[in-house]
Structure 1
Amino acid sequence: MIAFSLKKIRLSFILVVLMALLSQHVLADGEKKFPAKPNIIFIFSDDHAYQAISAYGGKLMQTPNIDRIAKEGALFANALVTNSICGPSRATLLTGKYSHMNGYKRNDRTKFDTGQVLLSKAMQQNGYQTAWIGKMHLNSLPIGFDYWNVLPGQGHYYNPDFISQPSDTTRYTGYVSDLITRFSINWLDKRDNSKPFFLIVGHKATHREWLPDLQDLGAFDAKDFPLPATFYDDYKGRSAALTQDMTIDKTMRLTEDLKVNVNYEKNPIYKRFTPEQKKVFKAYYDKISQDFEARKLSGKALIEWKYQRYLKDYLSVAKSLDRNIGTLLDYLDKSGLAKNTVVIYASDQGFYLGEHGWFDKRFIYEESLKTPFVIRYPGVIKPGTKVNELMSNIDWAPTVIDIAGGKVPAVMQGTSFLPLVAGSKTARTPWRKEAYYHYYEFPEPHSVHPHFGIRTGRYKLAYFYQGADSWELYDLEKDPSELKNIYGTKGTEKLTADLKVNLKNLMTAYKDTEALKILESIK
């Protein structure tokens, strides 16, 4: 009887060991083992500039909760996008493909093709319960998600509508960032606990027109922000930069963007406010309007006043975003989910905070090409990791699937960056040495000419077409602000020729036949 019991104990022990081994995901070189199916939360904001994140060295404000993810995990210093604009970036997240391959090139009325291979479907097939809550902005309803509750279009900051299954639209009272966080936590509380989960939290912040939460009104009024060094850029030698329409000076609107002399009774945005909300909001901006009228500004004084107001509103909206990320992180801690949940924070692209005199994005230049990206993976990613290698948003979907222990679909054009952060040495090389970019939307709304280009660790080569018809070349080591276009200058001939060859190779590899035809036509 005792011998039989010992045999049972040994057998049980062997089974436990085998199950533990089967539940581990092992890198090819055997250096790192980690859980095959952790929970995954992807927090995805809109137009959030890395310059406004203190973990990236930004001095404009403190972002303790985004910083916490970076400190407890990894920060990517060179996370790049393939097409710097909102909808196309979301399409890339879902497909792991370039805009020309997933069919979503512009922010227009294009309906996103949900019939193609999607990250959400792959996660479901891999045994995950999936959800998207918040902003989606793809002119179609979510597919591959067991639960969704999304903003229609851009959504509203105050008292927004949400669409949930089966396409029911409901208006909720409150501030959009708070509501998205509350709905996310509610879903986490009620989810199927028998499955790992994959949740996308899509924030509207920090999208134009930057309406802060009531509690954040005036949060930065005591601060006077220094002008960026390139604020009065003259765009010499850069014809596409010269003809854009996205300056704080000429494009930014006093009433709609900066809330000066708003007609609260006629503007549909403010008709959504409750009387209590409107009273507080109006009282604050009435004082701003009165101060503006009293100053009677013109010339540079007016431009710089607009810049200060822009940053104060933008950063106030970002303050609420960071606070809500903290609320979600606190929930994970209190619920015990934190230890087995991967948390990712990213924006859909970079954004200009006065650099070159601009707001918005679109260009291949650094402020819009680079996006914030931090990831925390307890027990796998060493806290405080910094990754300098070039990473692209086509890599996001393959990485999430890889973390989940799934097989990355062959149609996805990106590569999992997990080996870069999971302690593997041999898997770090080879890695991407250059990245490809292609932007399309023209002429509306900001007259940024379509262009394609290549970014390496040190250099950037781009071609602007449909009227701009010009090349630009930058040495990012000597000219990080991209003020001096050195294309055609003596001594750059071989560099330019090599970059053009590499650019063509990338177009071929990524099957961008439209760009290849343009490239061939300008030789």
Structure 2
Amino acid sequence: MKSHQLAFALVALVSTLFSLSAKDRPNILFIMSDDHTAQAIGAYATLLREIDPTPTIDKLAEEGVLFENAFCTNSICTPSRANIITGLYNHNNGVFDLGGSIRPDKQTLPILMREAGYQTAVIGKWHLKQEPNFDYYKVLPGQGKYFDTEFRIQGDRPWPQNVVTHMGEHSSDAITDSALDWFRNQRDPNKPFFVCHQYKAPHDYFENAPRYQSYLADVTVPEPETLYDVPNTFGSLATRGWQNELMPHIGTSIGKRNPRRSYATHLFAKFPEEFPANYDPALATEEETTRISYQGYLKKYLRCVKGVDDNLKRLFDYLKAEGLYDNTVIIYTGDQGFWLGEKDYQDKRWAYDESARMPFIVRYPREIPAGIRSDALIENVDYPALMLDYAGVKTPKEYQGKSFRSICETGKEPANWKPATYYRYWMHMAHHDNPGEMAIRTKTHKLIYFYGANYKGEYQTPPAWELYDLIEDPQELRNVYYVPKYKKIRDDLKVQFAQLRKDIGDDGSHYPECEAIVQEFWDYSEADRLKAIEISANFKKIREAELAKN
């Protein structure tokens, strides 16, 4: 009898301790906007600081920690999100590009949160194709629509057949309304929550809510120094071609530099009201199309950003009114960086900082002092480990990311913290004309290897290497790969780069034909460079024939 009473008492004690620990642990709110780059956040911005469309996000940064060197490992939507939901690099989670997906049983972040006693929900953009393994979900189909927003929800039919539509609503409003509805009607007050609140905005093509159309209408948005003129010291054979012959064909453009895809033509076709009444890209000079298109582009983009920020204020006001705000770890990020006219590039995908850097802000006043800025190198593969750490869950052995909770709370890096980040973009010359590339970045230097081939090792663009001194040249405008004083740094970084690939498992076994090209030009002898010149001429012919055909 006594043994039964003792057993019952132990069960009751364990249940009580679990209940108390669940109650005492913080809520976790992970907010991610699509393509919201650090340059468009007041707390980060320099060029756009006076415009500053993000007072709500700025306040979050003021009251928490802001990371200046947070990077994605593959600057494209689906792969970046896959890293966060799995804690693995793309070559290990299997999501190399936009065609990838994550099975419900592999979505370890929400699974572990649920096992730890958290109520889990995801609302907004999902983009991982398969059914979310959350207690509750209301997610956009694929990229989703800006207006009359549709959501896939749980229901009587199997995924993805249950759909509801917010007629007449902009996606940022509909996503916030849906989150507030969950908090008011679905949240269990006896459990901590883990909520992924994820906006479609400001992904192109930047359809803002009508109420923001007057925002910035009479403002001239400041231009980046490299909008028109990129110095000849920038780039390489890979990005410029031999004697600049591939400048029209590598990287989509703001002005009409790239004849296949540019905002000078495509943005004009979608939003003619943002352009002068007499605008004709065929008659205007390249510089004129660049200047005019940049203004239309930035205004549409920043209007979408403003809509996100205003909606976050609605969400935060609710959390404050309910007494939840200060007991919630609030994280704000974008799924990657984004070009805002720098170097006349659009979209993301490149290993350069404008594209690869993610905003990353954390507020939790119970443990994180206000006003910390950290230059620690972190990757999106580290984010789930951080969130699990705050949930009281030990980082799984299979995770490749590490928690950086101590950096959040002290601003200081542990002695064994990572010295470099890894980058790899696999979608060679897809959509925005970016060559296949990989890179290693330290706090002081970046080494980029454009191997220039698709998964089968075909459709080659010229391979080349680029090295940037991030202390002397933070805008990455002077490739010093061939500068003699950088030879030791270059050679040391190559060794470190090769070892990093091995350490994280990017061993080339996933696509052997592609890896053969990677290895062929890795040493980059003079013979390799001469072959790259031949590849440049050949690709120019291929691209010009494609343009003539289309």
* TM-score normalized by the length of structure 1: 0.85
Match of 1:500 among 486, 494, 518: 494
Counterpart code for 1:247: S
Q: 2:504 aligns to what?
A: 510
Distance 1:499 1:221, change over 3 A: same
1:85 and 2:76 correspond:
yes
Q: What SS class does the counterpart of residue 101 from structure 1 fall into? A: helix
Q: 2:267 aligns to what?
A: 257
Counterpart code for 1:200: C
Q: Which is worse superposed, 339-348 or 243-252?
A: 243-252
C-alpha contact (below 8 Å) 2:253/2:263 kept by paired residues: no
* Aligned positions of 1:178-257 closer than 5 A: 178-190=173-185, 191-231=187-227, 232-233=229-230, 236=233, 237-242=235-240, 243=246, 244-250=250-256, 251-253=261-263, 256-257=266-267
Once residues 326 and 102 of structure 2 are traced to their aligned partners in structure 1, the CA distance between those partners, rounded to angstroms, is 35
Q: 1:116 aligns to what?
A: 106
Once residues 290 and 79 of structure 1 are traced to their aligned partners in structure 2, the CA distance between those partners, rounded to angstroms, is 42
Q: 2:6 aligns to what?
A: none
Q: What SS class does the counterpart of residue 128 from structure 2 fall into? A: coil
Q: 2:473 aligns to what?
A: 479
Q: 1:314 aligns to what?
A: 301
Shift of 1:458: 0.5
1:99 and 2:86 correspond:
no
Counterpart code for 2:488: K
Once residues 93 and 384 of structure 2 are traced to their aligned partners in structure 1, the CA distance between those partners, rounded to angstroms, is 13
Q: What SS class does the counterpart of residue 124 from structure 1 fall into? A: helix
C-alpha contact (below 8 Å) 2:66/2:360 kept by paired residues: yes
Counterpart code for 1:495: I
Q: 1:151 aligns to what?
A: 140
Q: 1:442 aligns to what?
A: 428
Shift of 1:245: 3.2
Once residues 353 and 151 of structure 2 are traced to their aligned partners in structure 1, the CA distance between those partners, rounded to angstroms, is 34
Once residues 194 and 232 of structure 2 are traced to their aligned partners in structure 1, the CA distance between those partners, rounded to angstroms, is 44
Distance 1:501 1:326, change over 3 A: same
Shift of 1:504: 1.3
Q: 1:66 aligns to what?
A: 57
Once residues 407 and 270 of structure 2 are traced to their aligned partners in structure 1, the CA distance between those partners, rounded to angstroms, is 48
Once residues 465 and 193 of structure 2 are traced to their aligned partners in structure 1, the CA distance between those partners, rounded to angstroms, is 46
Once residues 219 and 56 of structure 2 are traced to their aligned partners in structure 1, the CA distance between those partners, rounded to angstroms, is 21
**Partner deviation per Cα, 1:116-172 (whole Å, 9 max, x = no partner):** 2521111111111101100011222212x0000000011111111111013411111
Shift of 1:301: 1.5
Q: What SS class does the counterpart of residue 56 from structure 2 fall into? A: helix
1:126 and 2:113 correspond:
no
> Structure 1: any 5+ residue segments left out of the alignment?
1-14, 25-34, 263-284
C-alpha contact (below 8 Å) 1:395/1:416 kept by paired residues: yes
Q: 1:361 aligns to what?
A: 348
**Partner deviation per Cα, 1:300-333 (whole Å, 9 max, x = no partner):** 2222101111111111111101111111111111
> Structure 2: any 5+ residue segments left out of the alignment?
1-12, 241-245, 454-460, 510-514, 524-550
What RMSD in Å do the two structures reach over aligned CA positions? 2.5
Shift of 1:112: 2.7
1:352 and 2:343 correspond:
no
Distance 1:431 1:318, change over 3 A: same
C-alpha contact (below 8 Å) 2:85/2:110 kept by paired residues: yes
Match of 2:442 among 456, 467, 470: 456
Match of 1:38 among 7, 26, 29: 26
Q: Which is worse superposed, 59-68 or 146-155?
A: 59-68
1:418 and 2:405 correspond:
yes
**Partner deviation per Cα, 1:413-465 (whole Å, 9 max, x = no partner):** 0100101022386x732212111111101221112111111100110111111
C-alpha contact (below 8 Å) 1:260/1:289 kept by paired residues: no
Counterpart code for 2:238: A
**Partner deviation per Cα, 1:370-414 (whole Å, 9 max, x = no partner):** 111101012100011111111111110000000100111111101
* TM-score normalized by the length of structure 2: 0.81
Counterpart code for 1:368: S
Once residues 258 and 397 of structure 1 are traced to their aligned partners in structure 2, the CA distance between those partners, rounded to angstroms, is 40
Distance 1:368 1:482, change over 3 A: same
Shift of 1:517: 6.1
Counterpart code for 2:119: Q
Once residues 82 and 49 of structure 1 are traced to their aligned partners in structure 2, the CA distance between those partners, rounded to angstroms, is 15
1:164 and 2:161 correspond:
no
**Partner deviation per Cα, 1:2-42 (whole Å, 9 max, x = no partner):** xxxxxxxxxxxxx9xx969x849xxxxxxxxxx96210000
Once residues 126 and 289 of structure 1 are traced to their aligned partners in structure 2, the CA distance between those partners, rounded to angstroms, is 57
Once residues 368 and 505 of structure 1 are traced to their aligned partners in structure 2, the CA distance between those partners, rounded to angstroms, is 24
Higher relative contact order (CA 8 A, sep 6+): 1
**Partner deviation per Cα, 1:238-293 (whole Å, 9 max, x = no partner):** 2333342311123224565245576xxxxxxxxxxxxxxxxxxxxxx3x8563646
Distance 1:259 1:112, change over 3 A: same
Distance 1:95 1:114, change over 3 A: same
Once residues 305 and 396 of structure 2 are traced to their aligned partners in structure 1, the CA distance between those partners, rounded to angstroms, is 35
Determine what percentage of the aligned residue pairs are the same residue. Answer: 38
Distance 1:36 1:428, change over 3 A: farther
Once residues 97 and 420 of structure 1 are traced to their aligned partners in structure 2, the CA distance between those partners, rounded to angstroms, is 21
Once residues 351 and 379 of structure 2 are traced to their aligned partners in structure 1, the CA distance between those partners, rounded to angstroms, is 13
Aligned residues: 471
Once residues 347 and 253 of structure 1 are traced to their aligned partners in structure 2, the CA distance between those partners, rounded to angstroms, is 22
Q: What SS class does the counterpart of residue 160 from structure 1 fall into? A: strand
Distance 1:241 1:146, change over 3 A: same
Once residues 456 and 477 of structure 1 are traced to their aligned partners in structure 2, the CA distance between those partners, rounded to angstroms, is 11
Counterpart code for 2:450: F
Once residues 445 and 100 of structure 1 are traced to their aligned partners in structure 2, the CA distance between those partners, rounded to angstroms, is 21
C-alpha contact (below 8 Å) 2:69/2:376 kept by paired residues: yes
